[in-house]
Structure 1
Amino acid sequence: MDGSRFRTRDVDEAREELDARYYTSRMDVVDRERRPFAARFDIVVLGPLVIGDLSCGTDVRMSFGELGAYHLNAPLGGTMEMRQGGSPVVATAGRALLLDPAGDTFLDRWSGDCRTLAVKVGADALRDRLEQLVGRPPRGPLAFAPALDITRGPGLSWVRFARRVAAEALVGEGLARHELVAGPLQEALLNGLLLAAEHPWRDALAHPGEPRRPAPVKRVMDAVRERPEHPFTTTELAALARVSVRRLQESFREYVGMSPMAYVREVRLDRVREELRAAAPDEVSVSEVAWRWGFGHQGRFAARYREKYGESPSRTLRAGR
């Protein structure tokens, strides 16, 4: 865990700090005459989460391009007017904004009186957490409703929790910095956001009750995750499961929501993403990596990749190492 308190009256220094901690951006002061620029950034990095208590002291505007991560802005006061592929939406002390990884993002006005909780959440970590909680890979992108009520209920509770975690982590010798505490806190924050925000799997999380996967299904899933590069067939998977092909297919559809071979493709797609994120654009090509993991039809591969991760594979490669 890494934490810092940053203060500056220089706009370029402030932008560089946000670039390093959050996203590459452009920042402009809207009205220097009314209030002086005075950035105050208290930021904590907790695994795939970046939690910041941010203010600029005067009105500013920013532009980011695609974020590549989920992002939540929850003001304590003042307003933040933002756009991401549509009409402007305003974050206030009563309503937080939750932004998607894909889509050019603009902060048209960050009011000078606005101090905000700004939380960056790694897209892969959040999706993996959802998969672990619901017991199956989610089909389609994890899309959130942009507004989150933070005046009451789960939204207010999550914002308070995130602020407490960040405040504790900024203390030099605080327990929140210890790996035995930081890991569970990270997991709790991801769980809490999935419970607080609106998305297609929220009801399943709020009212769990799905039976545990039977042993044959678990054996196949473990085997595929251990050796995703192996040229599995349905017959071979059924033999590993020690059931008939028909029984395996029925069990997978009931407990995983897809066929056994579709599950193999989903795991391989995850491996493609891992490899693209770890590579440099001059080292490999998207088609090379896709072919190596068994995706021969580039058009179908790219469409499924964008559907699952909310960005193109070439975008992942460009934003990698």
Structure 2
Amino acid sequence: MPLPFSPAEPLVQHGRLRTDDVDLAQTVVSEVYEPHLLEPRSATRLDARLNAVQNGSITFGYLTYGAGATITLPPSEYWYHVNITLAGGSRISRGDAVSGETSAMSGAAMLLPHHAQTIEWDSDTAQFALRVPRADLEGHLAELTRTRITAPLDFDLVVDLNSAAGRGLLRCIEFVRAEWDDGGILTHHENSRRHLESMTLTNLLMAATGPHRMLLDEPSDSAIPETLQRALDYIHDHARTLPTLSDLTNASGTSARTLQNQFLRNLDRTPIQYIRDVRLKSAHEDLLHPATAEVTVTDIATAWGFYNLGRFSSLYRDMYGETPSETLRRNRF
């Protein structure tokens, strides 16, 4: 049986919403997760409650409406949502004609960024809801499998929480919940919060089913040439100093033409594009985990070699679905 959550309301110290007003509930939940339409299905008065925290890039929240409701979620470019049903049940239909249902502690719904979704909640439904940036989840899969991910992942709609991997996901989420509810030390330190993020992303990818499993389950094959690996190591060690192609050829011990071909063949990126991606991801990490309360977007952007702030903001928004200032504001001390 899955590990049960604490009988106390999760994240109760981090309350964001307590209301019987439908419009207010829709507005606040939209701000925390994603714009959507909320429609009660009966005359029963709403008793909406949302408790939520931001652990780096992942939003963790407990949500219940206290009444039967239908939620219509339009397609989005930037976010995956994972709804773990703690009580009651839900029925989900997706824009590609796939449908499914979840029940208490047995199923979680995987909501995809590239499809519209409609979710019907029972009156007693309560869920632990995660919002995960598309760039982070797909990037994590790429790191685990050494494969470049270029399109949204077509997860199966329902995650079986009774499977071994599903139980692992529940244990992971309960651990994160307990750390935040208890004011655990892991929530107060930058590297620890990053570990919590990575652990959550790994458990989510392992528990979900779909075509991505072929990448995770196939035997590891270190197909990256040694010369390319030396160039990659150099980039990650010297990203702040803006490595040049000449630096990479010296570090890898091969010609510029050979190195260019190896990047394109193995990573579908030129060396310059790969360096920019590493710098952008590093800036994203610093915005998620600001070193001080006084640090600014300009400080972080220039530290990673982005001196044209307009261009930096545009690249960042294309990858992460929000502006750098929005990320920093959400994660300040």
Provide TM-score, normalisation by structure 1: 0.70
Map of 2:52 onto structure 1: 43
In the alignment, structure 1 residue 76 sits paired with structure 2 residue 86:
yes
CA deviation map 1:59-117 (0-9, x unaligned): 1122232342111112123322233322262331233221112233333x211121112
In the alignment, structure 1 residue 127 sits paired with structure 2 residue 138:
yes
CA contact (8 A) 1:148 1:197 kept: yes
In the alignment, structure 1 residue 57 sits paired with structure 2 residue 66:
yes
How far apart are the structure 2 equivalents of 1:190 and 1:221? 23
- Written as runs of structure 1 = structure 2, the 5 A alignment for 1:217-236 is 217-221=228-232, 226=239
CA contact (8 A) 1:71 1:121 kept: yes
- Percent identical among aligned pairs is 23
How far apart are the structure 2 equivalents of 1:78 and 1:118? 14
How far apart are the structure 1 equivalents of 2:115 and 2:323? 16
Give the letter for the 1:209 counterpart. Answer: S
Give the letter for the 1:177 counterpart. Answer: T
RMSD: 4.1
Tell me the CA shift for residue 56 of structure 1.
0.9
- Describe the SS at the equivalent of 1:62: strand
Map of 1:160 onto structure 2: 171
Unpaired runs of 5+ in structure 2?
1-10, 284-296, 298-309, 327-333
Tell me the CA shift for residue 167 of structure 1.
3.7
Q: Name the count of aligned residue pairs.
A: 285
- Describe the SS at the equivalent of 2:125: coil
How far apart are the structure 2 equivalents of 1:83 and 1:208? 34
Map of 1:305 onto structure 2: none
Tell me the CA shift for residue 55 of structure 1.
1.2
Tell me the CA shift for residue 217 of structure 1.
1.0
Report which stretch shifted further, 134-143 or 19-28: 134-143
Tell me the CA shift for residue 212 of structure 1.
8.4
In the alignment, structure 1 residue 257 sits paired with structure 2 residue 269:
no
CA contact (8 A) 2:14 2:53 kept: yes
In the alignment, structure 1 residue 112 sits paired with structure 2 residue 123:
yes
How far apart are the structure 2 equivalents of 1:53 and 1:81? 18
CA deviation map 1:116-173 (0-9, x unaligned): 12111111111222222223423543332222111221013202321342243133x3
In the alignment, structure 1 residue 145 sits paired with structure 2 residue 176:
no
Provide TM-score, normalisation by structure 2: 0.68
How far apart are the structure 2 equivalents of 1:86 and 1:47? 31
In the alignment, structure 1 residue 89 sits paired with structure 2 residue 91:
no
- Describe the SS at the equivalent of 1:121: strand
- Structure 1 runs of 4+ aligned residues shifted over 4 Å read 212-215, 222-225, 227-232, 235-240, 244-253, 261-275, 312-321
How far apart are the structure 1 equivalents of 2:325 and 2:37? 21
Map of 2:29 onto structure 1: 18
Unpaired runs of 5+ in structure 1?
279-287, 294-311
How far apart are the structure 2 equivalents of 1:47 and 1:31? 37
How far apart are the structure 1 equivalents of 2:160 and 2:37? 29
